[in-house]
Every structure is written in structure tokens, then in C-alpha cells.
Amino acid sequence: MKTGKHQVKFSFNWLVVYLLMGGLVLFTSLPLIYMISTAFKPYDELFLYPPRFFVRKPTLRNFYELLTALDSSTIPFTRYIFNSLLTTCVTVALTVIVSSMGAFALAKYKIPFGNTIFNIIIAALMFSPHVTQIPNYIIVSKLGLLNTYWALIIPKIAVAYNIFLMKQFIEQIPDTYLDAARIDGASDFKIFWKIIMPMAKSAWSTLIVFSFVSNWNDYFSPLIFINKQALKTLPLILQSLAGGPGQIARSGAVAAATFLVTMPTIIVFLIMQSRVMKTMAYSGIKG
């Protein structure tokens, strides 16, 4: 990293810039801070008037209520956490493997129609996933996968964005490494597994973050593919807990659920942040 390439000595102007940025950070982080603080508020603080921003006497009661006392339905909240974790992690793992292999083939081999395939992938970046949802629904239901975990996994493995990201990065790996390994008699699969994957570590770490975020937060797919209460994922449950606009009942449980839905993506990003920054440099499109 070329740190410091453009940093200037501290002066009055920079103080102003830092203050402005501080204000902006306040705008972006205030709702998140409020969300965290509210999750730990005891009952009386939730309904305080005038409303108070920060929690005074933090408690875990909201989480307790969410995880145990939500017995009006027969399905415990932990089941929904499990559903989200399972489908997200399986999708992420499969998309990382499938996209990396595909990207390796596109970047390092001459494939008939390779360029055409890549151009189609770039074109596919340009339409929102909702466009394909109707045929996907028909296909998934013909395959008999409605109301199964597979409906939340299989359609989301081959994503244009993911293979694009991997291809841009793998392309930067010099061919000399591959040639040297070939002379030593390594098979193509070994080259992929022992050379490409270790060298593209920061790229697939980034893919893990993005794919985790988009699958964990996905609301549309479970909404159309899943009717069975026991298979629903967190975003759906959170929305029915919050009960649409104007609902104040269950406030404590909703605050705790919001916290549980939000934190995993932020933690995953925090763990991978430095690798993500390294990869994103290769993500441009030379249209």
C-alpha cells in the first residue's frame, strides 16, 4: 500500500476537513449507535417520554425475551437464526468455489466463446436480480424445491458480480507461476488449488464478505420461495415482528432482533477489511 502518498501536514484547513468528516461519520453511524443502545434498554427506558438516545441501565432482558418468551408461535427464534446461518454459509461456500473455478478458466485459458461468455456476464451486472425472479420461481417450483433450503441456495450460486470480481483478480496473477508449476508436472487442478487459490486469498475473502452480506440480508428470495414458517429466515421474521409501520408492541424483542440481524455482517466485514481493500482495486470495468 502506498500510504501517505497524499497526506499533508496538519493545518487549519485540515482541521476543518476532519471536523466535516466527523459530522458525516455522525450521520452514518448515529442510527447504528442508537440501534445498539436500544437493544440493551430496559422496559421503562423504551417507552420514556421524551425519548432518550443512550441507554442508562443496560440489560440483556430484551434478548432473553426474544430467545425464550416468544412462545406465542411454536417455533423458537433460534430456529430462524439457524436457518439464516445455514443457507447463508452454504451459499457463500458454494459461490466462492464455483466462481473461483469459473474465473480461473476464463482468465487463464483460451476457451471457445470465452469472450462472449465474459461479455454476457458483464451485461448481467446491469440488471437487478428481481428481473429473473419470476422464471426462477417457475423453475424452482418445477424442480420441486419450493419450501426447501435449496431454494435459497441453488439460484444464488452463479452470480455475475462474483465471477467478475474473481476474474479481474486472477487475471493479475502472472502466467510464469503457472508455467513453472506445469514444468514441474503439476496438474491443472493442483495449479488451481495450490497456486491460484492461495494467491487470490484476498479476492475470495472479499467475495465471502459481499456474498455473506447480500445473502444474509436477502429479503426477496425467502419472501417468494418460502411459505413454511419453520424455514423462514431472519429478515422475514424481523419484518413480521416489527409488524409494519406504527407497531409499538414487542418493542424490546424487536430491538434485540434488529441487533442480532445487523451485527453479523459488520463483524464479517471488520474481520476481512484489509483484504477487501486490496481486492477492490481490481474491480473496475474497462467498458
Partner 1 sequence: MSFKKKWNQYGIPLMFLSPFLILFTIFVIIPVIYSVVLSFTFYNIIQRPKFCGIENYRVLFTDDDVFLIALKNTLIFAFITGPIGYFASFFVAWIIDQLKMRNFFALAFYAPSITSGIAMSVVWLYFFSSDRYGFINNLLLRIGIISEPILWNTDPKTILPVIIIVSVWMSMGTGFLVFLAGLQNIPKELYDAGAVDGIKNRFQELIYITLPSMKPQLLFGAINSIVNSFGVFDIAVSIAGMPSPNYAGHTIVAHLYDYAFIRFDMGYASAIAVILFLMTYSLGQIFMKILSSKDEV
Residues 91-120 binding partner 1 (CB under 8 A) are 98-99, 101-102, 104-106, 108-112, 117, 120
Provide, rounded to whole angstroms, the least separation between the CB of residue 65 and partner 1.
16
Kindly indicate which of the ranges 54-62, 69-77, 173-181, 276-284 contains the residues binding partner 1, using the contact rule CB under 8 A.
Answer: 276-284
Report the residue from 137, 149, 150, 193 that binds partner 1 according to the rule CB under 8 A.
137
Provide, rounded to whole angstroms, the least separation between the CB of residue 262 and partner 1.
5
Task: Please count the residues of this chain forming the interface with partner 1, following the rule CB under 8 A.
Answer: 102
Residue 39 and residue 59: Cα distance in Å, rounded?
9
Residue 199 and residue 168: Cα distance in Å, rounded?
13
Report the residue from 181, 195, 213, 275 that binds partner 1 according to the rule CB under 8 A.
213
Residue 195 and residue 189: Cα distance in Å, rounded?
10
Site for partner 1 in 65-84 (CB under 8 A): none
* 28 binds partner 1 per the rule CB under 8 A: yes
Report the residue from 136, 205, 215, 221 that binds partner 1 according to the rule CB under 8 A.
136
* 8 binds partner 1 per the rule CB under 8 A: yes
Work out the angle between the directed axes of helices 201-217 and 251-280 (0-180°, nearest 10). 150
* 29 binds partner 1 per the rule CB under 8 A: yes
Provide, rounded to whole angstroms, the least separation between the CB of residue 38 and partner 1.
7
* 180 binds partner 1 per the rule CB under 8 A: no
Provide, rounded to whole angstroms, the least separation between the CB of residue 71 and partner 1.
22
For residue 173, what are the contacts with CB-CB under 8 A and spacing of at least 6? 195, 196, 199, 200
* 262 binds partner 1 per the rule CB under 8 A: yes
* 254 binds partner 1 per the rule CB under 8 A: yes
Residue 38 and residue 57: Cα distance in Å, rounded?
11
* 57 binds partner 1 per the rule CB under 8 A: no
* 278 binds partner 1 per the rule CB under 8 A: yes
Query: Nearest-CA neighbor of 84 among 229, 235, 254?
Result: 235
* 216 binds partner 1 per the rule CB under 8 A: yes
Kindly indicate which of the ranges 63-71, 75-83, 135-143, 173-181 contains the residues binding partner 1, using the contact rule CB under 8 A.
Answer: 135-143
The nearer residue to partner 1, 74 or 244, going by C-beta atoms, is 244
Kindly indicate which of the ranges 55-63, 68-76, 172-180, 271-279 contains the residues binding partner 1, using the contact rule CB under 8 A.
Answer: 271-279
